[in-house]
Amino acid sequence: MGELEEQHEVTLPAYYIARYPTTVAQFTAFVQASRFRPGAPECLEGPPNHPVVWVSWYEALEYCRWLVERLRGATGDQLGGSKLEESHQRFWEGLRDGDLVVTLPSEAEWEKAARGTDGRRYPWGRERPDLDLANYGSHFGEPAFGMTSAVGCFPRGATPEGVQDLAGNVWELTRTLMGTDLLEGKEGWVRSFVPRWWTRSLLGKPWMGPEFGYPYDPADGREDLEAGADVDRAVRGGSWTVDARRLRCAFRDGLPPTSRHSADGFRVSVSPA
């Protein structure tokens, strides 16, 4: 499932994106500090330096909301000390003034981080994936790790800017809508084995509707955080389970915001409010 989209140009305001996916240790700190009760307690059982998995899109957003309050509480110390670099100054002032918010990246923000301004096929460039570059392939009979891996253990797979794990390891949730899931509420095996082309050709209608496809238009409602649970959110980057094709920067797929899986995680961005 999923699709590759043609390139087109999108202008984005300045934003920040985490170097790594959110880890089990970081999510555990959130749960302990906020007394949040995750829907799947096993999300806290993985190795501390692995990406947190078994969390839903809604739970990822709760983590973001907690983190922004923690960071805003630190702005006084950060801005009241020694002189900061200009980009760091803008970051802390933006948080203090409410101009910036911690959230999930939009699809466009995620893709810009992965593809860069030079239009890379993969986050590291054009070289085909191998197990020195990314963690993938466990469900496709390829030599693989068979589970998530510690964040940052594929430095050769980093972008030139230093962002890591954008290909493989875990699918990364975004805040962007993809469309209404016609199989919402069906058993997991149905969702896994009924392909999109089947619903298009035999049902005579698209897999998802409304379809938030490309060209990317941030003004068409696709960034609505209040949309219902029947609307899929876009995920990017592939995971430890998928084949190499799904690691391409242009590959996109969608998941219901209530979904939890051993191959789904997230990283945060700091984006304009």
30 exposure class (CB count in 10 Å sphere: 0-12, 13-18, 19+): buried
More confident position, 201 or 234: 234
> Rounded to 5 degrees, what are φ and ψ at 177?
-70, 150
The pLDDT of residue 81 is 82
Cα separation, 76 vs 11, in Å, equals 32
CATH number (domain holding residue 192): 3.90.1580.10
The pLDDT of residue 13 is 86
Q: Which of 44-53, 134-143, 224-233 has the lowest mean pLDDT?
A: 134-143
Q: DSSP characters for 119-167?
A: T-SBTTBSSPP-TTT----TTTTSS--SS---TT--GGGS-TT-----S
Q: What is the pLDDT of residues 68-99, one digit of tens each?
A: 999 999 999 999 888 899 999 999 999 999 99
The pLDDT of residue 9 is 61
35 exposure class (CB count in 10 Å sphere: 0-12, 13-18, 19+): exposed
Cα separation, 166 vs 120, in Å, equals 12
Spatial CB neighbours of 104, under 8 Å, sequence gap ≥ 6: 57, 60, 61, 64, 173, 174, 175, 266, 268, 269
What mean pLDDT value characterizes the chain? 86
The parent domain of residue 83 ranges over 3-272
Q: What is the pLDDT of residues 137-192, one digit of tens each?
A: 987 766 678 999 999 999 999 999 999 999 999 999 999 998 654 444 444 444 44
Instruction: Tell how strand 251-255 and strand 264-265 pair up.
Output: unpaired
The pLDDT of residue 62 is 98
The pLDDT of residue 83 is 87
Question: What's the number of domains the chain is made of?
Answer: 1
The pLDDT of residue 211 is 66
pTM of the model: 0.85
User: Is the separation of the CB atoms in 129 and 244 below 8 Å?
Assistant: yes
The pLDDT of residue 129 is 95
pLDDT of 228 over the 90 cut: no
